[in-house]
Amino acid sequence: MTKPLLDIRELTTCFSSAQGIAKAVDNVSLSFMQGETLAIVGESGCGKTVLALSILGLIPDPPGRVTDGTIMYRDKDLLDLSEHELMRIRGNAISMIFQEPMTALNPVFRIDDQIAEPLRLHQGFGNREALDKAVDALKLVGIPNPAKIAKSYPHELSGGMRQRVMIAMALACNPDILIADEPTTALDVTIQAQILDLMDDLKQRMNGSLMLITHDLGVVARMAQRVAVMYSGKIVELAGANELYAEPLHPYTKGLLASMPSLGETRELNPIPGIVPSIFDLPQGCRFHPRCPKAYEKCSLMLPPLYEPKPGRKVRCWLYED
């Protein structure tokens, strides 16, 4: 069997505050293969972004810290690497498109300087050659008049253009793994479609792997081969995208799909009642049970393990105990 490109085992990331210690990512195990698109979905606050930042070693310490687990990339545990060793991987072999391009881009540097930086750092290019490569990267992501845009500052570009710049920067070093955190947030529908098409096309051309973090299940249906559903720091369902949409198993996944509008349908939308609990005040037992229409007594007493009711399907729910 082919070895996973990235293999996460029992990863736990904690944050400390005056309220106590909170596990934002709690004992998460996940792997994905070369060329695969894996979507991480769930409501805001479920731990998706913290998972991505943990992989890249970007958890601010204090108040956060990875306290347990392993993250294996090409026979290296990323958690055992020094900051210097991590810097050689971050932005080179593993890159990330951050959620807010306006805050992720440095407002006082021109676009070409920002794209050229990882090329100089990781690929050994001289300044002139790196700047030329930056223009090529802008051309690759479909930016018109790339030589002119390269000399612009972030505030001079539209939201869609800034997002393309972020993609160009992330792909400049031809990474094995691209992590995209809500890549279409705050973009209009037309630009969203263009950005998704661009990411999918570039992934296929480079044979890279994509970890797509989103709460938009429409994006997942379009892009992903497999889906991991997170709730309150834990994986509650893991399945192939087609199987997940055809037959969701976890009540939370069913609730997410039931709350999605569909083109041409007139059915009433059914939002999930309640809100995601605070990671500083998690309910006992299954973390979803206060909002779950299928909950029974055991759900409020014990946290269910991750069952495998079908080959390739995993679900954290007492309904599948037998």
| Whether the predicted pLDDT of 176 surpasses 80 | yes
Cα three-residue angle 28-40-29, rounded to 5 degrees: 20
Work out the average pLDDT over 189-205. Answer: 81
Q: Burial, 265: exposed, middle or buried (Cβ in 10 Å; 0-12, 13-18, 19+)?
A: exposed
- 255-314 pLDDT, tens digit per residue, is 999 887 766 666 677 888 988 898 888 999 999 999 999 999 999 999 999 999 989 899
Average pLDDT of every residue of the chain: 89
- Label residue 252 by pLDDT band (50, 70, 90): very high
Work out the average pLDDT over 209-213. Answer: 92
Res 265: pLDDT = 65
Rounded alpha-carbon distances, angstroms, from residue 148 to 15, 111, 139, 161, 261 = 43, 10, 11, 13, 41
Are residues 249 and 317 in contact, defined by beta-carbon separation less than 8 angstroms?
A: yes
- 132-162 pLDDT, tens digit per residue, is 999 998 988 888 899 999 999 999 998 888 8
Cα three-residue angle 100-106-110, rounded to 5 degrees: 120
Res 263: pLDDT = 63
Are residues 172 and 96 in contact, defined by beta-carbon separation less than 8 angstroms?
A: no
- 9-37 pLDDT, tens digit per residue, is 999 999 998 888 999 999 999 998 988 99
Res 205: pLDDT = 79
| Whether the predicted pLDDT of 318 surpasses 90 | yes
Res 94: pLDDT = 93
Positive or negative torsion for Cα 133, 137, 142, 143: negative
Work out the average pLDDT over 238-251. Answer: 95
Are residues 41 and 214 in contact, defined by beta-carbon separation less than 8 angstroms?
A: yes
